[in-house]
Chain A
């Protein structure tokens, strides 16, 4: 049967990739296994894993309940699209997707032209070894093709919260990001294996940028999905799994700054290699934290300590290997001095701040484990701690993003610098005063962050205009600079979006009678009652709300409470009306029990200012990343 084929393909891939793994280990002892062609192995393994994944998907589509994973995560009544996305809505399927992406990146890398053949072979040896280790993990602890015994005729269902288009795209993008850094890891280790390879550092660049872009989109999608699906308008909870995705994103963001300066053997070269290795290790750490049961998390998959042990082992092997290889690079100690008042200096400072932030979030996330194991005390580290660290950190980072682009490379002069930035500073001051004036009365924290975000937007816009107003000797707006402007602009917009949406959120919770109007901000919200609707595999109670602004009818909003046929589970689908200045967010609660004759329902209405700015910023950041990716891919071809 098809699913048996899937397991066979998986086994074949395991065996083939083991050859690369053996070659790698023999190579460590200087035994040459040179007849092995890793490029061919990469291609075959990709086809095998792709086929394996397709068979799994087919099993889901056909509702093949002989497979345990299909029984636990699907149902014959499930809408077609969710039969497909259900493939990765569970541990086994998602880790197979992880593996698929890993083989995919290897495959693409093997197809890139103009790369030294031996170098390519070396990179793919490492990549195939990683693939071997993950295949081992899947086959021994997370087999998606495990048969259900006794065989079942119907499945439990895909969790209703996951029956959503957001689920379709959030994990794939996230994995493209996480796993993209596997090839970054492999390339880095190949680079430092021999001094003659150092010159190939440029090869690293497009992979860093495309993986960062995917990771950014993946995290953004996760936040967006949480925002509209979980029913109370929150988008970030400092949950361990969210932190696990933020950590590699932060180191990757630091990496894409240092990589610009990493030529041959500078200090930035070393930083680049370290961050390239460390980012992938953090991706793996995230996987460990989520799937092992060592931490309590909203996102936690089935907690299986034996899986955790295996991932921990994987993590140890990959970390030790990368770390020991990296120590070789540290041998060379001649470096040019870095002036504080220079672009290099600012980027160095930026790295220090970003990495301190990364370290803090890492400590905060695993401190509970430490406290429990070593001190025998159970503590919680949550939003208050992380927010109190992130908030002050934003100030030096923002100043760096504003002033940095204006500082010269090598060595700058304070007098000339001030002259260059005098207009920016002026504009920032004016905009800050304006923000303070308009926001007066709001909480002081919101004013500070609006000023930070606003200043960044102003300075980035100013930079942009410089390129259109220089007259005849127009300096060309290079991809490099456009990418930087868009990225920093994106961060500024993100700051405003996050601040508005969290600190300035307005909430109205009440028992609303049919016909009653509730006012929030400038909107009048009239409750018209609840009607029952049948969906594909659920029954929905749909609330009807008419929204008026200044007496004029704008639209009707229809939040739902869905009761799924299969498992008697319920989800709340909030109704969201997004505008550039804020979102109107309505959720339907329970019918009031007090007076059954009176038609009163609990209604929850929120106004979330500037939420849309968050999603816009993610798009801008992604565009910036793509521009850089294109730029660095073109340079080599």
Chain B
């Protein structure tokens, strides 16, 4: 129960994520910042993205994302930058690789298998 309290404190203390002074003046850049933020995981929280978390590392990453946007980096480049330092865990959708293929292949395979069995017994 104590652990639950600890975990939920992360949520309850200052539930309020993005601070006004983080928000970029350029609305288009800010929208991009939000979209990128929703793909990045807060590394110390339980399943939150950096946009909605109040953890220190989340705030640091939010500021970093906006800083890199102001330096004219593309969305892909920014994500690659953060990915190279923190690894797969920071991405909410794993990169497409041999070892992560299963995530997409298994469901598709399952679907095809079901369709196959259904139409097979029609004969």
Report A-B touching, CB under 8 Å: yes
Q: Which parts of A269-318 form the interface with B (CB within 8 Å)? A: 296-298, 300-303
Chain B residues whose C-beta falls within 8 Å of the C-beta of A340 in the assembled complex = 122
Q: Are B7 and A367 in contact (CB under 8 A)?
A: no
Q: Cβ of A379 < 8 Å from any Cβ of B?
A: yes
Q: Are B18 and A380 in contact (CB under 8 A)?
A: no
Chain B residues whose C-beta falls within 8 Å of the C-beta of A300 in the assembled complex = 3-4, 7, 46
Q: Cβ of B13 < 8 Å from any Cβ of A?
A: yes
Q: Are B11 and A72 in contact (CB under 8 A)?
A: no
In the complex, what's the smallest C-beta–C-beta distance from A131 to chain B, in angstroms? 25
Q: Are A382 and B49 in contact (CB under 8 A)?
A: yes
Interchain residue pairs with CB less than 8 A apart (15): A90-B4, A160-B12, A162-B8, A230-B11, A239-B46, A297-B46, A298-B48, A377-B88, A377-B99, A379-B94, A380-B94, A383-B92, A569-B9, A571-B15, A572-B14
Q: Are A388 and B7 in contact (CB under 8 A)?
A: no
Query: Known pairs A156-B5, A379-B88, A509-B18. 20 more at Cβ < 8 A?
Result: A161-B12, A232-B15, A234-B52, A267-B121, A298-B11, A298-B48, A301-B4, A302-B1, A359-B106, A371-B100, A378-B89, A379-B94, A381-B93, A382-B47, A385-B92, A388-B93, A511-B21, A571-B12, A590-B14, A602-B20
Q: Are A385 and B103 in contact (CB under 8 A)?
A: yes
Chain A residues whose C-beta falls within 8 Å of the C-beta of B70 in the assembled complex = none
Chain B residues whose C-beta falls within 8 Å of the C-beta of A301 in the assembled complex = 1, 3-4
Chain A residues whose C-beta falls within 8 Å of the C-beta of B93 in the assembled complex = 381-382, 384-385, 388
Q: Are B15 and A230 in contact (CB under 8 A)?
A: yes
Chain A residues whose C-beta falls within 8 Å of the C-beta of B3 in the assembled complex = 300-303
Residue in B11, B20, B39, B48 whose CB lies within 8 Å of A511: B20
Chain B residues whose C-beta falls within 8 Å of the C-beta of A628 in the assembled complex = none
Chain A residues whose C-beta falls within 8 Å of the C-beta of B19 in the assembled complex = 509, 589, 602
Q: Cβ of A338 < 8 Å from any Cβ of B?
A: yes
Given contacts A300-B4, A356-B110, A356-B114, contact A363 B103 (CB under 8 A): yes
Q: Are B13 and A356 in contact (CB under 8 A)?
A: no
Q: Which parts of B1-43 form the interface with A (CB within 8 Å)? A: 1-5, 7-9, 11-21, 23, 38-39, 41
Q: Are A509 and B107 in contact (CB under 8 A)?
A: no
Chain B residues whose C-beta falls within 8 Å of the C-beta of A383 in the assembled complex = 38, 49, 92
Q: Which parts of A484-541 form the interface with B (CB within 8 Å)? A: 509-511
Residue in A239, A377, A389, A572 whose CB lies within 8 Å of B47: A239
Chain B residues whose C-beta falls within 8 Å of the C-beta of A356 in the assembled complex = 107, 110-111, 114
- A340–B118 CA distance with the chains assembled, in angstroms: 10
Q: Which residues of B contact A (CB under 8 A)?
A: 1-5, 7-9, 11-21, 23, 38-39, 41, 46-49, 52, 87-94, 99-100, 102-103, 106-107, 110-111, 114-115, 118, 121-122
Q: Are A509 and B23 in contact (CB under 8 A)?
A: yes
Q: Which parts of A338-373 form the interface with B (CB within 8 Å)? A: 338, 340, 348, 352, 355-356, 359-360, 363-364, 367, 370-371
In the complex, what's the smallest C-beta–C-beta distance from B1 to chain A, in angstroms? 4
In the complex, what's the smallest C-beta–C-beta distance from B100 to chain A, in angstroms? 7
Q: Cβ of A231 < 8 Å from any Cβ of B?
A: yes
Q: Cβ of A552 < 8 Å from any Cβ of B?
A: no
Chain B residues whose C-beta falls within 8 Å of the C-beta of A159 in the assembled complex = 4-5, 8, 12
Residue in A161, A232, A298, A382 whose CB lies within 8 Å of B41: A382
Q: Are B47 and A72 in contact (CB under 8 A)?
A: no
Residue in A363, A382, A572 whose CB lies within 8 Å of B16: A572
Name which of B9, B102, B107 has the most chain A CB atoms within 10 A of its CB: B107
Residue of B nearest to A73 (CB): B1
